[in-house]
Amino acid sequence: SRDWSSDVCSSDLRCVAPEGRIATIGYAGGSIPQIPANLLLLKNIAVCGLNMGYYKLAAGARYEARVRALFDQLGRWFVEGRIHPVTAARFPLERAADAFAAVLDRAHLGHVIVEP
């Protein structure tokens, strides 16, 4: 079977502009990709990891104001039409279990929304 996770990571590294950055947030399937350091060096690029659990669990109150401000900024950008999150599926509240199943099955690329 093909390791899509490594393929995507390798493509990202090759496509990013010199002095660019890639943020790795999570791995939905496959293995955790290995990053070839030679591409980082040749293009002067950086790969940064983001584990939101660290800010909620490990660091807790220390980063609470900063994280809240960042999410407030994202909300403003959404209202202003500056960002356009991908909505993969919408479920009525009565079908919340189906929405959770869709997320757990990794059946959708984008946000799965439960609405009243």
In degrees rounded to 5, what are phi and psi of residue 24?
Answer: -100, 125
User: Which residues in the chain come in under a pLDDT of 70?
Assistant: 1-10, 26-30, 58-60
Percent of the chain with pLDDT strictly greater than 70: 84
Average pLDDT over the chain, rounded to an integer: 82
9 burial via Cβ count (<10 Å: 0-12, 13-18, 19+): buried
pTM here? Answer: 0.51
Q: What's the rounded Cα separation, in Å, for the pair 68 and 65?
A: 5
pLDDT computed for residue 33 by the predictor? 76
Question: pLDDT tens-digit profile of 87-108?
Answer: 999 999 999 999 999 888 877 8
* Closest by Cα among 109, 113, 88 to 100: 113
